A and B are shown apart, each in its own frame.
Chain A
Amino acid sequence: MKDYKNKNANPVDESGQFFAAKLTGVKREYVLKGETVYALRGVDLEVPQGDYVAIMGASGSGKSTMLNLLGCLDRPTHGKIWLGQDDVTSLDDDSLSEIRASRIGFVFQSYNLIQQLTVIENIEVPLFYQRNANLRSRKRCVELAKLVGLSERLNHRPTQLSGGQQQRVAIARSLVNDPYFILADEPTGNLDSKTTAEILDLLDELNAQGRTIILVTHEDDVGARSKRIVRLRDGLIESDVRLRPNDPPPKRPNALV
């Protein structure tokens, strides 16, 4: 089995172009009660390093399926998915788990922190599953907590934090494995407008520092903060509009942002 943990900090293919994620002709079909449901009908998408993509669409447009495929939680029925230089289309369950642990930073709508763990332990979880949790990584977690403004609450439990604070922990967690991209699923869906603004500012800041972000949302003003909006409709890409140019810092940020 290939070891997906040992990734180059800045892998670039021969053409000099590095795609954090790339989908070619991706289809995803389910069989529900004997009926075939076409969730994605053939999607091509390239997410270059440093980009900030908002995936939008009404419910039933294939948004969630796309999210699951990009998050390596699901496999396409047709087409190929690449993360960096690796084809992850037909990896087995364990390899996909390794890919998730090392290359993807998840941010969810409902924060999804583990209740019995403290802030610092929650941030460390992906490293733990990479068998990479040690004293040095602990230091990195502390620095990430500082980055998202939670250095005072390292030993708090999620229940002792506000929604915005929990989402900050989740963002710190998504950065801990130095991922190819942050995959954010309605990250502001549960937050009030003030906190929403704070979280989106934080994402902007991360993107400005070179982090690739893929954001799934149905709110137009959230999508408008990105560099590029991809609209899905009935399992196909309806439009792909670039709002801002993607000119990331020349070198992908290493270790700490």
Chain B
Amino acid sequence: MRHALRTLQSGVKSLYLHPMRSLLTVLGIFIGVASVIWLLAIGEGISKKAQEQIESLGADNIIVSTIKPPNEALSAGGGGGRMQFPEYGLTRADYERLTETIPTVIKAAPLKDFQETFQNGSRKIDGRLVGCTPSYVDVVKIAMFDGRFFNDQENEEARDYCVLGAGVAEKLFPYEEPIGKLIRVGENYFYRVIGVAQSRDPSAAIGSSMKSEDYSFDVYIPLKTMETRVGDTVVVRRSGSMEGETVQLKQITLKVKDVASVMETADLIKMTLDDYHTKFEDYGVTVPLELLEQAKTTRMMFNVFMGLIAGISLVVGGIGIMNIMLATVTERTREIGIRRALGAKRGDIVRQFLIETIVLSVVGGGLGVLVGLTCSPATTAAMGLVKRMNPDLIASLPPIVQELKPIIVYWSVPLAFMISIIIGVVFGVYPAIRAAKMDPIEALRHE
């Protein structure tokens, strides 16, 4: 033990003889280890976020949404009349068919939405007016902050009730209790507030058919009310011309009996819809479960990829160490000769140089771990800096990058450290053996 300690001490002394060289040698391993930890942490942060968002959609849900077909397809298929607007998308009949013919679907929430302006006196805010059924609360998991959601009967009766998203409530009723008040939607209609939803994290865009959604600027009204008051046709007046379209339902969220039957239900839904949507592809099916599986695979591939890159830099670092150690061994040939003459066995020489290499790689690994652990605060600081200097750049990044929070993967720290020691051994053995194999007589004669 004492002997090993002395060998270590002597190794550190030898390295200290050339501090600059030792520092540069360490750099390779340092960068390698730090990047293993950083890359894995960033990868973990991104994929965790994505996974959370997918999970918030519900693993037992299937989301069918209307997709606007390309304009050429629309004008080719639509009627030719002057006031005839193209009609596409999901229909109420689709909703009936899906809920009635597919036994594994236990709940379904149809909805349609428009961009509207909400007003309370002089206060104004733009948001999304969502017409939906009470089942939407269960399917999308809206939690109530105050008041209540409308019930089925109120939906059937097409009452003028509404439920505000958290952001809308805050903007329109900053100092008063919103429940029971009237808000004005668009130009003509008034709705009575019966509840306020709790704020929730916005979802990011997932897959091809899901846009990112920020639920806090939603106002929910009964679907029936929307159908009677607004109708299916939306007309936009542009200078000199009118454009419009007819869409019955924007989206149907279906809840499946259990997670195991999600995939086959999704297939059934596609088959059912395909029979009736022959003119053009005007709907998309999003299966969060499928996305979740994909996200997991992506995450694993990402980790492997990151690990590979980091691994390469570690190997490069190791080769750097070996290179320096080989030079050191040649340079210290005479010292090796002296030590051998004074009674060092081959094993002593191997140990001496191996320990020096391991010291180098452990110091590099240790520094790498320290810097690796600063990943999270460093990223936050860097983001803050960029945000202050160039806010547009940050705004142009996808939200998943904007909100990036690296999560240190707990096993990456011991792993990176172990790897640095292993590299020390692997790349140190050859120079050390070369040193030990020298003929002491030759080595003593070396200038």
Contact = CB atoms under 8 A, between A and B. Distances in A.
A148 B48 CA distance: 71
Interface in A67-97: 68, 71, 73-74, 93-94, 97
Interface in B212-242: none
B13 A117 contact: yes
A102 to B, nearest CB: 7
Contacts of B389: none
B301 interface: no
A114 B345 contact: no
A216 B2 CA distance: 37
B342 A74 contact: no
Given A68-B441, A128-B6, A134-B2, A114 B335 contact: yes
Main secondary structure of the interface of B (DSSP, over half): helix
Contacts of B339: 114, 125, 129
B345 A126 contact: no
B17 interface: yes
A100 interface: yes
A93 B346 contact: yes
B3 A94 contact: no
Size bracket, chain B contacts: 20 to 34
Interface string A122-143: 0001101111011000000000
Given A93-B346, A129-B339, A73 B13 contact: no
A71 B342 contact: no
B335 A100 contact: no
A114 B335 CA distance: 6
Contact of B341 (A71, A93, A102, A128): A71
B343 interface: yes
A74 B343 CA distance: 13
B14 interface: yes
A81 B381 CA distance: 73
Contacts of A215: none
A171 B99 CA distance: 101
A116 B13 contact: yes
Interface in B306-351: 334-335, 337-348
A13 B205 CA distance: 94
Interface in B32-54: none
A98 interface: yes
Contact of A115 (B335, B342, B348, B444): B335
A106 B343 CA distance: 10
Contact of B343 (A114, A115, A129): A129
A118 to B, nearest CB: 10
Interface in B345-381: 345-348
A68 B443 CA distance: 13
Interface residues of A, number: 29
Interface in B79-124: none
Nearest to B348: A129
A94 B2 contact: no
Nearest to A132: B3
B284 interface: no
A126 B343 contact: yes
A93 B346 CA distance: 8
A106 B341 contact: yes
Nearest to B14: A116
A97 B340 contact: yes
A115 B6 CA distance: 16
A177 B16 CA distance: 29
Nearest to B9: A121
Nearest to A102: B343
A93 B335 contact: no
B343 A101 contact: yes
Contacts of A134: 2
20 contacts: A68-B441, A93-B345, A94-B346, A94-B347, A97-B348, A100-B340, A101-B342, A112-B334, A112-B338, A113-B338, A114-B338, A115-B17, A117-B13, A125-B339, A129-B345, A131-B3, A133-B2, A134-B2, A173-B342, A177-B343
Interface of B: 2-3, 6, 10, 13-14, 16-17, 334-335, 337-348, 440-441, 444
Which 3 residue pairs are nearest across A and B when measured between Cβ atoms?
A101-B343, A129-B343, A97-B345
